[in-house]
């Protein structure tokens, strides 16, 4: 029985392994149930007690030595495997894309860009606020009373964190809290839009729990309802690319505006196609009004000197109308097929 010879042989076999699988095979060949080292132990039965003791100890020591060697080699081969995988699966991100995989601009992103550029041409700048809002900015400062339906559980996503007044935080239910943040931090004149994500617990073909709005706010000494009308008509004509757009303003109610209105645009369906701006059917597209003096005062703006208007437009809604898309949920499905069909190529963007 040549124990050292088996050790030498096994070491050589371990060193020459090039993969984790080969190493596993070597491990089985030497240390497995039918392996060579195990075989040596089986031979011990023919030896004297003395020899059994000394040879047994020697076999056990080479067993331990081989186990350690295999473990070390295993770590080396694992790193080697990872490195070779990394270099084989390398993606050259500087490589020009094939025409089939042309990147597309999501319809909502396109609407964001268009809306910002239309209002920028009228002198509005973009303001932002957080998606996770405190009760104060989302409701209280906007004159939304405690028992207002908008606060109800089925509408608002409440978050466990509390604000400074121990009130729950919410996912903002509209972009109007950005009005408040702006009025608290800025002196009039104020002329901003706030595009962004909003959240309400609602889901069907025309509602999504996460959707998009753009808020508008204009405050100076004299802004009035007719300025508001003119601004919104100009926006809609530019956005829908229609001249002499037929619109109507219906009286409405929002706690933060007084008077309040909703704006509808006319449409008709001719040969199964939606025509925006003409016809005798009406689509509601936005809420608006003169900023309630209570809200100005909540933001420390003197309501005897300043006044203004605000509006909130559903961006998903106007995107669906403009591009004839029927199901809002498809916007957020993450389907590449949908985006390549309904998105906009960078070329004609
Ligand atoms: N915040 C309102 C909503 O989400 C829209 C709105 C904004 C109405 C500003 C009036 C003025 O329904």
Of the ranges 61-75, 232-246, 264-278, which one carries the lowest mean pLDDT score? 264-278
CA of 176 from ligand 1 middle (Å) equals: 6
Strand partners, 267: 276, 281
Peptide bond into 259 cis (omega under 30): yes
Task: Kindly report, residue by residue over 206-229, the tens digit of the pLDDT.
Answer: 889 999 999 999 999 999 999 999
Ligand 1 pocket, residue 287 CB under 6 Å? yes
Question: What is the pTM (predicted TM-score) of this model?
Answer: 0.72
Q: How far apart are CA 234 and CA 118, in angstroms?
A: 9
pLDDT in tens, 5-31: 999 999 999 999 999 999 999 999 999
Closest residue by CA, ligand 1 atom 6: 312
pLDDT score at 93 = 81
Give phi and psi for 78, each to the nearest 5.
-65, -45
Residue 143: per-residue pLDDT: 95
For residues 276 and 318, give the distance between their C-alpha atoms in angstroms, rounded to a whole number: 11
Judge if the beta carbon of residue 308 lies within 6 A of ligand 1. no
Average pLDDT, the chain: 92
| CA dist., res. 4 & res. 61, Å (int) | 11
Contact predicate 6/37, CB 8 Å: yes
> For the segment 288-316, what is each residue's pLDDT rounded down to a tens digit?
999 999 999 999 999 999 999 999 999 99
DSSP 117-148: HHHHHTT-EE----SEEEHHHHTGGGT--TT-
176 DSSP 8-state letter: H
CATH code of 107-348, in short, is 3.30.930.10
pLDDT tens per residue across span 35-52: 999 999 989 988 999 999
Best residue among 137, 172, 176 to mutate for probing ligand 1, ranked by most atoms within 8 Å of CB:
176
Are the beta carbons of 135 and 171 closer than 8 angstroms? no
Sign of the four-CA dihedral 115, 121, 122, 124: positive
- What pLDDT sits at residue 348? 52
CB atoms under 10 Å from CB of 61, counted, come to 12
Residue whose C-alpha is closest to residue 330's, from 106, 20, 97: 106
Looking at the CA of residue 179, tell me the nearest atom of ligand 1.
9
For ligand 1, atom 10: residue with the closest CA: 288
DSSP classification of residue 302? -
pLDDT over 90 at 150, yes or no: no
């Amino acid at each position: 029985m040549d124990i050292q010879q088996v050790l030498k042989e096994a070491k050589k076999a371990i060193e020459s392994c090039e993969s984790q699988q080969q190493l596993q095979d070597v491990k089985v060949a030497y240390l497995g149930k039918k392996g060579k080292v195990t075989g040596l132990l089986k031979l011990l039965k023919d030896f004297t007690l003395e020899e059994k003791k000394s040879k047994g100890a020697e076999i056990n020591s080479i067993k331990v030595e081989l186990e350690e060697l295999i473990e070390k080699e295993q770590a080396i081969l694992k790193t080697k495997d990872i490195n070779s995988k990394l270099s084989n699966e390398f993606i050259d991100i500087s490589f020009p894309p094939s025409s089939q995989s042309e990147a597309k601009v999501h319809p909502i992103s396109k609407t964001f860009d268009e809306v910002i550029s239309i209002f920028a041409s009228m002198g509005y700048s973009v303001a932002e606020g957080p998606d996770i809002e405190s009760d104060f900015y989302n409701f209280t400062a906007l004159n939304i009373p405690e028992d207002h339906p908008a606060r109800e559980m089925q509408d608002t996503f409440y978050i466990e964190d509390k604000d400074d007044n121990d009130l729950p935080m919410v996912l903002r239910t509209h972009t109007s809290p950005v009005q408040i943040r702006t009025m608290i931090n800025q002196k009039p004149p104020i002329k901003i839009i706030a595009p962004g994500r909003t959240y309400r617990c609602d889901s069907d073909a025309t509602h999504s729990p996460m959707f998009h709005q753009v808020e508008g706010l204009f405050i100076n000494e004299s802004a009035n309802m007719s300025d508001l009308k003119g601004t919104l008509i100009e926006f809609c004509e530019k956005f829908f690319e229609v001249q002499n757009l037929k619109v109507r303003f219906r009286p409405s109610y929002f706690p933060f505006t007084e008077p309040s209105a909703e704006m509808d645009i006319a449409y008709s369906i001719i040969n199964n196609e939606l025509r925006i701006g003409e016809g005798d059917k009406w689509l509601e597209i936005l809420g608006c009004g003169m900023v309630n003096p209570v809200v100005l005062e909540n933001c420390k703006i003197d309501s005897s000197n300043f006044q203004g208007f605000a509006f909130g437009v559903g961006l998903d809604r106007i995107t669906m109308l403009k591009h004839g898309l029927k199901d809002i949920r498809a916007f957020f499905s993450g389907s590449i097929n949908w985006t390549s069909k309904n998105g906009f190529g960078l070329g004609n963007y």
